[in-house]
Amino acid sequence: MTAHTAPVPEKNMRKVAMTSLAGTSIEWYDFFIYGTAAALVFPTAFFPETMPPLVGLIAAFGTLAVGFVARPIGGIVFGHYGDRFGRKAALVTALMMMGIATTLIGCLPTYALAGPIAPILLTLLRFTQGLAVGGQWGGAMLLVTESAPENKRGFYGAFAQAGAPCGLILANFAFLAVGALVSDEQFMSWGWRIPFLLSVILIGISLYVQLHLEDTPAFKALAKEHDTRLRSDKTEIVLEKKSPVLEVIQSHPRQILLAAGAFLAVQVTFYILIAFVVAYGTNAQGLNLSREMILTAVLIASFVQIPVLFWASAYSDRHGRRGIYMLGAVLCGIWAFAIFPLIDTGSFLWIIVAVSGGQIFVGMMYGPQAAFLTELFSTHVRYSGASLGYQLGAILGGALAPLIATALWSEFGTVFISIYIAIACLLTLISVKMLTETHGTDLDKAGAAR
């Protein structure tokens, strides 16, 4: 690139960061309430009552996995769109899609009313959620990292990343609030629908982004350069037709695969802590603890993770992305063997310690990730490249984690779930070690020699 990219003024940067945090928080809220409902409600609401409880749980987690299968597809579609027409346009479309799909889940008939059509419609809407979140992350993440000053790129990137724990807090709080206001029978009958219907708020946020935010300086500089080249050389029209997705696969295949590997530990650990642990703690075949106890523990752990995200991201601005990321992977792999012995005590305090410890080490990796992935790819393919790496890691890690954890638990016990987490952390450690340090990268030159 020849065009110079300048960061936005600090005052505007704060508005961009807070808008990104609000949008990703509600987007992840929509995605996460499905995981909570899959653990608590969907096995009985959307599948036959004759199905054994553990089989129903696996079936519900299967529909949860469909959202992850859709995420790389969403990354491809929105990556192409975002690299062609702008980060903001892609983000607004993804937010709108998520808001509509989640609201419709709250309106679905149950299996008792509609029979097999109920889980089919549920699966289709979950797939739509996956498409939306596959595009949302890249748009929200680039909106802040491409706008931020170089020495604060990690810190501002954490605002997009913090949407995940904030969304989880909102999701668990919504279920806890509804559970406190209605009886268990009412909750299972219709109360669970309320958190889904509240996601209509996301449609309003998408409209705010469309009306009040500009696209990133990096994309505007790229668009300006393209316009100049098109006016001076008409052959550029032919080059413009090349897909950014195909180009990034050809030019950055190693970075995409290693970025996916770097995300494995985050996804495997995170979804075991927020989905499987809820099912394990409340299931009659597990600890048979109260729903409120487990959800509150997950809620507290999510609060704990947020300052860690910002601390780790700011640390990466001063000392590099790889070191703090690899330390998080090592500590997470070790902590994996403490999680279930602590949870099995049945003590509310030790359950909080178990889940919070995992979330702290996940935050050490997830916080710097936005800046890390931004700096791996060239501007004209950055949305596609970052989204592909992120979403491939999501499908390999998050999609399968609750299913694999449930299968391991039923066959071998929870110690094998800890081994599974540790293996994911080892693969992440190797992947990050094989990537070059990106700290201090000029975004105008990013990806050129990696």
Q: What tokens appear for 379 in the block?
A: 């501007």
| The residue to which tokens 């979330």 are assigned | 359
Other CB atoms within 10 Å distance of the CB of residue 2:
8
CA atoms lying within 13 Å on the CB side of residue 8? 22
Other CB atoms within 10 Å distance of the CB of residue 326:
20
**What are the boundaries of each domain within the chain?**
10-434
pTM for the full predicted model: 0.82
The CATH H-level superfamily of 10-434 is MFS general substrate transporter like domains (1.20.1250.20)
Closest listed residue to residue 153, CA positions, set 368, 402, 412 = 368
pLDDT of residue 1: 39
CB 328 within 8 A of CB 385: no
Which parts of the chain register pLDDT below 50?
1-4, 235-239, 449-450
Gyration radius of the chain over CA positions: 21
Chain centroid to CA 220: how far?
26
